[in-house]
């Protein structure tokens, strides 16, 4: 005898199975490929993004003006400037997923002649490389992409905005502009006192280990999606460690290195290598078309 409960179960069996199959089919589409990082910090919301980006732009222009006055700013036809901008052009389209404001940023990439082993990306997409990091480390394109991706990731994840937001709680009011920056570059402080008081210098702002780890992973994914070999992250940090003999480079002073960091990159390579392989194959397929008359 078939009970009412059994009849109900038989009636429900097909729809339930169908729902389970549908969910299984949808899950891969919803699953995100790439690295996994946490949510953006709520401290960033304490500082208006537009205000911080305007401050970054003013500081960036001052850096470029100072470099130009010292004849240290790379001209547009400089081979390394062209190289950096070409790499950035490949990476930037993949930034929008990480920060919707990135599609509105006025991206800039410049090269400053200096022995500093340093590079940065300020809020709003303002990128600077120093010749020292390229020449001293003899960076390949893949390694440049890893450095650039790392620095861009700081801007996308709004680590500077987060740090400034935290400073409003811990230290109250202080200058957002650049007392530290003006002292470092020899610029009158009045030039750098742009926005209201927050206490962060965007160029010398130090990020925590969690921020650095996040930037490593997001930067590695950006580079991979753009067709650059993410395994270059390992060789990059090996070169950094070698350059760290004696006085640490400026880039390392805020970017802790070591075997732990390399191990984390290696552990996440399986998540980004498929992205790199697809991008590499796509680039290879487009190459003949680009050469056609």
In sequence order, which residues have a C-beta less than 8 Å from that of residue 46 and are 6 or more positions away?
Answer: 164, 165, 168, 169
Gap between the Cα atoms of 84 and 144, Å rounded: 8
What string of DSSP letters covers 122-167? Answer: ETTTEEEEEHHHHHHTT--HHHHHHHHHHHHHHHHTTHHHHHHHHH
Give the three-state DSSP class for 33: coil
The catalytic position among 151, 162, 212, 214 is: 151
Q: What is the b/e burial string over 207-233, where b = at least 16 CB atoms within 10 angstroms of the residue's CB?
A: beeebbbbbbbbbbbbbbbbbbbbbbb
Residues in the chain: 293
* 126-164 residue pLDDT tens: 999 999 999 999 999 999 999 999 999 999 988 666 666
Q: What is the pTM of this model?
A: 0.74
Residue 143 falls in the annotated catalytic set = no
Supply the pLDDT for residue 185. 38
Positions in the chain short of pLDDT 50: 1-30, 172-200, 204
């Amino acid at each position: 005898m078939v009970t009412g409960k059994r009849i109900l179960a038989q009636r429900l069996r097909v729809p339930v199975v169908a729902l389970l199959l549908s969910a299984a089919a949808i899950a891969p589409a919803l699953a995100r490929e790439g690295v996994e990082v946490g949510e953006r910090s709520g401290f960033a919301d304490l500082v208006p993004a537009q205000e911080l980006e305007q401050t970054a732009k003013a500081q960036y222009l001052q850096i470029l003006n100072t470099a130009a006055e010292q004849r240290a700013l790379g001209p547009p036809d400089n081979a390394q400037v062209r190289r950096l901008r070409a790499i950035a052009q490949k990476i930037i389209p993949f930034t929008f997923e990480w920060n919707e404001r990135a599609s509105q940023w006025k991206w800039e990439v410049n090269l400053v002649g200096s022995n500093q082993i340093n590079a940065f990306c300020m809020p709003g997409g303002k990128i600077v490389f120093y010749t020292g990091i390229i020449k001293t480390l003899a960076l390949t394109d893949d390694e440049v992409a890893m450095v650039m991706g790392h620095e861009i990731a700081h801007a996308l994840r709004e680590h500077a905005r987060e740090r400034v937001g935290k400073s409003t709680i811990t230290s109250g009011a202080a200058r957002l502009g650049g007392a530290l920056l003006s002292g470092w570059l020899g610029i009158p402080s009045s030039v750098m006192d742009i926005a209201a008081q927050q206490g962060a210098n965007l160029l010398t702002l130090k990020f925590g280990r969690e921020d650095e780890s996040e930037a490593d992973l997001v930067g590695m994914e950006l580079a991979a999606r753009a067709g650059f070999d993410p395994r270059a992250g390992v060789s990059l940090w090996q070169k950094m460690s070698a350059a760290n003999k004696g006085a640490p480079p400026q880039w390392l002073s805020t970017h802790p290195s070591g075997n732990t960091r390399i191990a984390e990159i290696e552990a996440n390579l399986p998540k980004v290598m498929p992205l790199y392989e697809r991008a590499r194959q796509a680039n290879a397929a487009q190459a003949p078309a680009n050469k056609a008359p």
